[in-house]
Amino acid sequence: MEHNDTALPHVRKQSLGTRILKNRWIYLFLLPGIAFVILFCYGPMYGLVVAFKDYKISKGILGSPFADPWFSNFTLMLKDKRFIAAFFNTIRMGLAYIITGFPGPIILALLLNELHGSRYKRTLQVIYTFPNFLSWVIVGGLMTTIFAGEGVVNSLIRAAGGQTYGFLTDKGLIRPLLYITSIWKGTGWSAILYLAGIASISPELYEAAEVDGANRYHKMLYITWPEIRSTAVILLILSFGGIMSKGYDQILNMTNAVVRDAAETIDTYIYRITFQEKPKYGFSTAIGLSKSVINFCFLLIANKLAKLLGEGGIM
Amino acid sequence: MNREGTTGKLRKVEGFDVFNVIFLLFLALIVIIPFYYTIVRSFLTQQEFIMNGTTLLPRQPTLGNYRDIFVGTGMMRAFFNSVLYTVLGTAFSMFLATTLAYGLSKKNYPGRALFQNMIIFTMYFGGGVVPFFLLIKDLGLYGNRFAVVIALAFNAFNMIILRNFFEALPPDLEEAAMLDGASAVRIFWQIVLPLMKPALATVTLYFVVDRWNEWFWSNLVLIDSKMWPMQLELRQILWTSSQMAADVPAEIGRRTYAEGMKAAAVIVTMLPIMCVYPFLQKYFAKGVMIGAIKS
């Protein structure tokens, strides 16, 4: 899947056995990691077979009988109105997360790049990037302070003589609030990526442009932006790949029972039916498998597109 | 920004700079405000909160909310649990990631492409929550603290960051040591790893933060609340007494007290990261740059 620059040289013809023996210590290093990956990454992939089974806790993954017919969990899934709603909501929210979250880091990086005085720049970066390293549990708590009934926003409204409002209990507002808080948390950190790209641009390019009479907008548009465009495309691809799995973490920590339906995604739906209702593991797994496959396809398509655009892609 | 269009070239630049500084400071303020008001709220007494919940400075600051957190909830125990999971989990993760990354950084051995693709595939496709949960159950790890330490140990992105660092090392030292007859393990431990200190610091920090912030699997796997990490205890505090947005103003009298406690719990859980982050930010940023180049 990755670029194949490691093709074996055909110059020295040694037998496979000799070459394995010669490199045996490398396999020693690989052993723990590969064993772990097989057990905890490929094990669950094998566990996806539960999607085709009538899972019984007492019999486990291997012992449970296959469902009759084998695709019955998928038939149930397609008839499930809550799933269908969650499915479309996931795509809708995934796209909205990408559209709302994508420009911020680029703009922030470009503006930070125009700021002179590296000490201020560093302090600002520490502030901007810090929220990224907090859990959504904490960010959920912080946002309660801002948006809840007794929160900062409502205090301002009250001070201005208005009526307080339940922002977090409004079905129409919860999705925008999720996007906004996601931007609040992640923009600074994503901007670092672009800043790294900008920092690698040779100063000579700018100097040459200045000689030619370019002002800062010219430089931004014709030097800086083309340099970070490939980073931007790759990040966009990555976000399209994750479109189906964006933020159960955030949603589980920021939505209450009142607004739950408005922000129900496939992930939160799987979580709810498996761990908060009477579990039907085969059914949940069928949904999970469908999600993973669709997600994978999104990523392949996006990657293909990026390659067509001449930006290299990631695989 | 359009005012620049009408003025001369020199002033145009100045105008933009002023706008830029003001705008960036404004953004910083937006980041800071939720922290600031949560900190203020955590020091408010119940009366002051009811009188004026949003105030710039508490008139009679109290530590009562913090006392309640440590006396009235399992926060203290959860803190030690979190430290335990973070330390053990990070150590195990680093063991897996460094050995695997080192092995993959080597070239020209049979199976390299297979192993590499095997890892990369996991970044794009996974079994998902339910099979992972069933696996943990089948392995008999359900309800066991070590499920959290062991099962979550692998992170392909972090491993690839390390691999890129390994690949960037000059091979001369290793080759010289090999000629001297040093064993592969010794070369790794005594020559390669010391050269990698900045990279190891960066990736260790990523693991530490991931581990510290983990709550989802702890929630699913740790049945006994005595085993809960801090994030989960915080979640319990935030969500049990009143749902996040059950914000009916008429109920203020009873619930305000809980609000102060919640704020204090948020601050306490955040404090470890808040204390170290400003000093370690450059290490955090380093991994992004290396990870961004390849992968």
Task: Return the percentage of chain B with pLDDT > 90, whole number.
Answer: 43
Q: B272, B278, B264: which is closest to B68 by C-alpha?
A: B264
Taking a C-beta distance cutoff of 8 angstroms, is the pair B104, B163 a contact? Answer: yes
Does the pLDDT at position A4 exceed 80? no
pLDDT confidence of residue B286: 78
Task: State whether residue A192 sits within 8 Å of chain B by CB.
Answer: yes
Is residue B185 included in any domain, yes or no? Answer: yes
Q: What is the mean pLDDT of chain A?
A: 86
Q: From the centroid of its chain, how far is CA A148?
A: 27
Contacts of B135 in chain A (CB under 8 A): 40, 43-44, 47, 61
Structure tokens at A68: 């009759």
- Residue B268 identity (one-letter amino acid): V
pLDDT confidence of residue A161: 86
pLDDT confidence of residue B248: 38
Does the pLDDT at position B7 exceed 80? no
Does the pLDDT at position A28 exceed 80? yes
**DSSP, res A2:** -
pTM of the complete model beyond 0.90: no
Q: What would the mean pLDDT of A136-157 be, rounded to a whole number?
A: 88
Nearest CA in chain A to B35: A142
pLDDT confidence of residue A108: 95
From chain A residues 286-305, the ones with a CB under 8 A of any chain B CB are 288-289, 291-292, 295-296, 299
Task: State whether residue B275 sits within 8 Å of chain A by CB.
Answer: no
CATH of the domain at B159: 1.10.3720.10
Partner-chain contact B128 A291, CB within 8 Å = yes
pLDDT confidence of residue A101: 92
CB pairs under 8 A between A and B: 313
Is residue B154 included in any domain, yes or no? Answer: yes
Domain of residue B276 covers 82-295
Partner-chain contact B127 A288, CB within 8 Å = yes
**DSSP, res A67:** P
Does the pLDDT at position A139 exceed 60? yes
Does the pLDDT at position A78 exceed 80? yes
Residue B251: band (very low, low, confident or very high) from pLDDT cuts 50, 70, 90: very low
pLDDT confidence of residue A40: 94
With H, G, I as helix, E, B as strand and everything else as coil, classify residue A150: coil
Q: What would the mean pLDDT of A127-151 be, rounded to a whole number?
A: 91
- pLDDT of B73-86, one tens digit each? 889 999 999 999 99
Cα B132 to Cα A48, B211, B244: the distances in Å are 9, 18, 29
Nearest CA in chain A to B295: A314
Q: What is the number of domains present in chain B?
A: 1
Task: State whether residue B223 sits within 8 Å of chain A by CB.
Answer: no
The listed range with the strongest mean pLDDT (A83-97, A112-126, A223-237, A245-259) is A83-97
List Cβ<8 Å contacts ≥24 apart for B163-168: B163/B100, B163/B101, B163/B102, B163/B104, B163/B105, B164/B290, B164/B291, B164/B293, B164/B294, B164/B295, B165/B101, B165/B196, B165/B199, B165/B290, B166/B101, B166/B102, B166/B104, B166/B105, B166/B192, B166/B196, B167/B105, B168/B290
Nearest chain A Cα distance for residue B179, angstroms: 15
Partner-chain contact A43 B135, CB within 8 Å = yes
Nearest chain B Cα distance for residue A224, angstroms: 17
Q: DSSP letters along A23-37, please?
A: THHHHHHHHHHHHHH
Q: What would the mean pLDDT of B29-33 be, rounded to a whole number?
A: 95
Position of tokens 């692998």?
Answer: B154
CA–CA dist A4, B119 (Å, integer): 15
Structure tokens at B192: 């390669």
Q: What would the mean pLDDT of A211-217 be, rounded to a whole number?
A: 83
Cα B122 to Cα A119, A248, A287, B63: the distances in Å are 40, 19, 19, 47
Is residue B207 included in any domain, yes or no? Answer: yes
Q: What would the mean pLDDT of B268-290 be, rounded to a whole number?
A: 84
From chain A residues 19-78, the ones with a CB under 8 A of any chain B CB are 19-20, 22-23, 25-34, 36-37, 40-48, 50, 55, 57, 60-61
pLDDT confidence of residue A9: 52
Does the pLDDT at position B264 exceed 80? yes
Taking a C-beta distance cutoff of 8 angstroms, is the pair A196, A224 a contact? Answer: no
Nearest CA in chain A to B286: A196
From chain A residues 247-266, the ones with a CB under 8 A of any chain B CB are 248-249, 252-254, 256-259
Residue A32 has, within 13 A of its CA and on its CB side, a CA count of 15
CA–CA dist A181, A74 (Å, integer): 35
Partner-chain contact B17 A192, CB within 8 Å = no
Residue B8: band (very low, low, confident or very high) from pLDDT cuts 50, 70, 90: very low
Residue A310: band (very low, low, confident or very high) from pLDDT cuts 50, 70, 90: low
CA–CA dist B161, B157 (Å, integer): 6
Is residue B53 included in any domain, yes or no? Answer: no
- pLDDT of A151-175, one tens digit each? 888 888 888 888 888 888 888 899 9
pLDDT confidence of residue A59: 82
Position of tokens 């400071």?
Answer: B25
pLDDT confidence of residue A39: 94
Residue B10: band (very low, low, confident or very high) from pLDDT cuts 50, 70, 90: very low
CA–CA dist B133, B152 (Å, integer): 11
Structure tokens at A285: 């797994």
CATH code assigned to A80-308:
1.10.3720.10
pLDDT confidence of residue B254: 42
Is residue B57 included in any domain, yes or no? Answer: no
Residue A218: band (very low, low, confident or very high) from pLDDT cuts 50, 70, 90: confident
- Residue ranges per domain, chain A? 80-308
Q: What would the mean pLDDT of A258-273 be, rounded to a whole number?
A: 91
Which has more pLDDT, B58 or A103? A103
pLDDT confidence of residue B295: 39
Does the pLDDT at position B274 exceed 50? yes
Taking a C-beta distance cutoff of 8 angstroms, is the pair B253, B291 a contact? Answer: no
Q: What would the mean pLDDT of B248-258 be, rounded to a whole number?
A: 48
CA–CA dist A44, A63 (Å, integer): 15
ipTM value for the complex: 0.86
- pLDDT of A182-200, one tens digit each? 999 999 998 988 888 888 8
Contacts of A114 in chain B (CB under 8 A): 16-17, 20
Dihedral of alpha carbons B8, B12, B15, B19, sign: positive
- pLDDT of B162-179, one tens digit each? 998 898 888 888 888 888
- pLDDT of B196-239, one tens digit each? 888 899 999 999 999 999 999 999 999 998 999 999 999 988 88
